[in-house]
Structure 1
Amino acid sequence: MFGKTAILFTTVLCFVTFGESTDVLKCKNGGSFDTIKSIVITKCEQPPCLLKRGTRVELVQQFVPEKNVEKLTTSVHATLLGVPLPFVGVDGTDACPNIFDADGKPGCPLKAGTQYYYKNGFPVLNFYPTVDLVVAWALLENNVPLTCFEIPAKIIR
């Protein structure tokens, strides 16, 4: 019988294998972009991503760190009218439980030159306004981006 980790990892692999890679942009703050091999965001191949209120958006990022990493934190915010707003419940959380190696083993530490998958998501709440925004998503080690990308998005009804 499959354990929870095996089922989750199989789901992640299917998502990466059968999903279309999403075109994303390099972070304006210069964070690392070269370590990212692919990103798949549900129902979004080309920006702007349409984020429908009342749904959940899932993301899988395939990356290869250039150095050993002990711990990572998730940083996610939307820039709206020039103001960065954190995604509550995702921003500032421990990224390690959402990272898996090619064998499905979860967690940190990470080894340089090894391929990993980061899977996470967020709800698009019904009270969010219908607006255009830019989402910046980073995995931070000691507040320094290991991976970072931005994607234009639009919240819709």
Structure 2
Amino acid sequence: MEKAAFYQQLNEQVAAIIHGESDLIANMANISAILFEALEQVNWAGFYRNVDNELVLGPFQGKVACIRIPLGKGVCGTAASEAQTLRVKDVHAFDGHIACDAASNSEIVIPVIVNNQVVAVLDIDSVAYDRFDETDQKGLEAIVSKLVEQVKG
């Protein structure tokens, strides 16, 4: 299946599963499960929540993870502090990378912004180098937008 069509289908699946549910954590849990099962070469998919200006582990699928990440540190903390999606081809070359799982080689992190505040980040790790491209980014950002719309009601 062509990648853009794959993400359209994935977006529809996410929309269906979170429809009518406004609880952010419940929706993050189901989205993590959907992404972990659907995406190839992914070894971790989940969320870190912004709690008192620190990222705290939220719902996820994968191996045990770092529990707290300071804003501005690592890929997740940098994406949160800059309120920008980060795609990292080689996490080992990322200055200040926090290695929660040594098997991870690339990563994408998308901020979840509600009312102009970064409330969380979606973090997806891959064992493959350069796993995430612009199509992945657009598809995953659309899923995060769906999550934000549902939470805002």
Confirm or deny a common fold (TM above 0.5): no
**Higher strand residue share:** 1
**Higher helix residue share:** 2
Which structure has the greater CA radius of gyration? 1
Q: With the length of structure 2 as denominator, give the TM-score of the two structures.
A: 0.29
Identify which of structures 1 and 2 has the higher relative contact order when contacts are C-alpha pairs closer than 8 Å and 6+ apart.
1
